[in-house]
A and B are shown apart, each in its own frame.
Chain A
């Protein structure tokens, strides 16, 4: 909240170092490992953006595909007309506006409705885009021809992931972050100390939506040919939820712990058992929710708590680090 503590400086430095190391990857491989790393970084960006909102609010959003698809389409529609960096900004703006509208309409109601609404939204946008395309254009999809290589996409996604982390870190130290902590603890108290709970949630959802749309925009050149079923694929929404839950959403880096193993396993399954991918996803979802509801980071924290308790039972009531 104030100056950086030594711990925070260390985390920031470590994060920067890891990103710098990861950025070296395309120098060593531009085939399979780069390709799977693009997937990993893509889902790292998506899951962290998702957790940015869903972690503190506990609202499960299934609108990831909607924001992602809008980002992809912003590039698909504009690539011949506008410079690419501008398209990324436009994608962010569209994602934020969309999230703002959805948030204003649904965040005042309870969580279950929000889940259904966001899922419906992704489908609705997909149908609208399909309808518009068949109505006003002859082709079903859009071509995206750029000079961009897999390495460029990888670097941009890596930079985006870094930006999401930095944003989460800054939010956590801001009034908004403190408001979200209070809301997560007790929404009634939050309102009565003067927090506009709906507004805080909407702002957070907008930030999250903007980042997801940028991720879609960055990935667009990778598809070369964009059509609604791939850009607005509901699988994206589900995978993001599963991976984030597997990692745990309490910590900033929690989703990462889920993303890396899951992407690798998914890649293995979809290449070896292409017809059974959905079954595996479904089973994984059940297993995670039942067996590790707080994710891997939750497990680690419990283990750590048990360890500290055993080694120093007297120190439980000690001052916790500020």
Chain B
């Protein structure tokens, strides 16, 4: 079976700075992969390469065996890659329902009218905002905006869902809600790549993880082995503690 997502020697250079340095990994169908690493290690750039926010300098990225690298972001979104953003991005002049509808209307499923509205309602219920469908998102709390963003990404029924630090900035009880929400999506068989700093979440959620440091992939595999890998520990804590 082909992998849902294959990254082959992906590289991104900004002038002399190589933010992603020949990284290769695969994400299987229905797998939840954690993409971790210290700040500035290139995780978000990696997500940007997958979603098409940035074109790779070299290498290729395949979705279900079809090449998507080099396509513009909107074409990749229509192929079935949805994402959330590190700093939450909602559409401030719209209400929650319209925000979510945008994912269903223009994404892979391309619904319109009542069909899109129905999906938006279901997903808002799903993320716990069923009673706030017509609230202007600009007036929402941070976690609620994150929920809207997640629902919008799900509205396209994506083949691969990219979460960029979706759990960051949540308080402990919100974090529990967030983790169980992602866990549920995973159980339903959705393929997810999550960039995350919250290690508890990585441990309890991920099947596998990929560790990046200074643009390179330094480890890959099951979560507990990878996190105890000496090179990973060194990347996070420096030489003295390894």
Inter-subunit contact A178/B134 (CB<8 Å): no
Taking CB atoms, residues of chain A closer than 8 Å to B113 are: 1-2
B53 at the interface (CB under 8 A from A): yes
Q: A192-B51, A193-B102, A194-B106 are in contact. Are A182 and B91 (CB under 8 A)?
A: yes
Q: Which residue of B lies closest to A183 (CB)?
A: B91
Inter-subunit contact B105/A192 (CB<8 Å): no
Inter-subunit contact B108/A189 (CB<8 Å): no
Contact code string B135-147 (vs A, CB < 8 Å = 1, else 0): 1100100000000
Instruction: Give CA–CA (A179, B77) in the complex, Å.
Output: 14
Count of chain B residues near A, Cβ 8 A: 36
**B151 vs chain A, min Cβ distance (A):** 12
Give the contacting residue for B77; candidates A1, A178, A192; CB below 8 A.
A192
Q: B97-153: which residues lie under 8 A (CB-CB) from chain A?
A: 101-103, 105-108, 110, 112-114, 134-136, 139, 152
A309 at the interface (CB under 8 A from B): no
Q: A182-B91, A317-B135 are in contact. Are A193 and B103 (CB under 8 A)?
A: yes
Inter-subunit contact B89/A317 (CB<8 Å): no
Give the contacting residue for B91; candidates A1, A186, A197, A319; CB below 8 A.
A186
A191 at the interface (CB under 8 A from B): yes
**B138 vs chain A, min Cβ distance (A):** 10
Which of A190, A191, A319 neighbours the largest number of chain B CB atoms within 10 Å of its CB? A191
**B36 vs chain A, min Cβ distance (A):** 23
Inter-subunit contact B136/A193 (CB<8 Å): no
Q: Which residue of B lies closest to A2 (CB)?
A: B113
Taking CB atoms, residues of chain B closer than 8 Å to A2 are: 113-114
Instruction: Give CA–CA (A178, B111) in the complex, Å.
Output: 13
Instruction: Give CA–CA (A192, B93) in the complex, Å.
Output: 18
Q: Which residue of B lies closest to A182 (CB)?
A: B102
B95 at the interface (CB under 8 A from A): yes
**B147 vs chain A, min Cβ distance (A):** 15
Inter-subunit contact A185/B95 (CB<8 Å): no
Instruction: Give CA–CA (A322, B136) in the complex, Å.
Output: 12
Q: A2-B113, A2-B114, A189-B89 are in contact. Are A196 and B136 (CB under 8 A)?
A: no
Inter-subunit contact A197/B74 (CB<8 Å): yes
**B102 vs chain A, min Cβ distance (A):** 5
Taking CB atoms, residues of chain B closer than 8 Å to A192 are: 51, 53, 73-74, 77, 82-83
Q: A229-252: which residues lie under 8 A (CB-CB) from chain B?
A: none
Instruction: Give CA–CA (A181, B89) in the complex, Å.
Output: 15
Inter-subunit contact A322/B108 (CB<8 Å): no
Instruction: Give CA–CA (A192, B90) in the complex, Å.
Output: 12
Contact code string A161-189 (vs B, CB < 8 Å = 1, else 0): 00000000000000100110110111011
Give the contacting residue for B102; candidates A178, A197, A317, A322; CB below 8 A.
A178
Count of chain A residues near B, Cβ 8 A: 24
Taking CB atoms, residues of chain A closer than 8 Å to B105 are: 175, 178, 193
**A290 vs chain B, min Cβ distance (A):** 24
Q: A194-B77, A196-B74 are in contact. Are A320 and B106 (CB under 8 A)?
A: no
A98 at the interface (CB under 8 A from B): no
Q: A253-278: which residues lie under 8 A (CB-CB) from chain B?
A: none
**A141 vs chain B, min Cβ distance (A):** 46
Q: A178-B105, A317-B139, A320-B136 are in contact. Are A194 and B74 (CB under 8 A)?
A: yes
Inter-subunit contact A186/B89 (CB<8 Å): yes
Inter-subunit contact B51/A189 (CB<8 Å): no
Q: Which residue of B lies closest to A316 (CB)?
A: B139
Q: A1-B113, A317-B135 are in contact. Are A193 and B89 (CB under 8 A)?
A: no
Taking CB atoms, residues of chain A closer than 8 Å to B65 are: none
Instruction: Give CA–CA (A195, B91) in the complex, Å.
Output: 14
Inter-subunit contact A319/B134 (CB<8 Å): yes
Q: Using A186-B91, A190-B106, A193-B82 as known contacts, list a sample of 18 further A-B pairs with CB atoms less than 8 Å apart, ordered by residue number in A.
A: A175-B106, A178-B101, A181-B91, A181-B94, A182-B102, A184-B93, A185-B93, A186-B90, A188-B85, A188-B89, A191-B72, A192-B53, A193-B77, A193-B103, A196-B72, A196-B75, A317-B135, A320-B95
The 3 closest A-B pairs by CB, nearest first: A194-B77, A185-B91, A194-B106
What are 18 A-B pairs with beta-carbon distances under 8 A? A175-B106, A184-B93, A185-B93, A186-B90, A188-B89, A191-B53, A193-B82, A193-B102, A193-B107, A193-B152, A194-B74, A194-B77, A195-B74, A197-B74, A317-B135, A317-B139, A319-B135, A320-B134
Residues of A at the B interface (CB closer than 8 Å) are 1-2, 175, 178-179, 181-182, 184-186, 188-197, 317, 319-320, 322
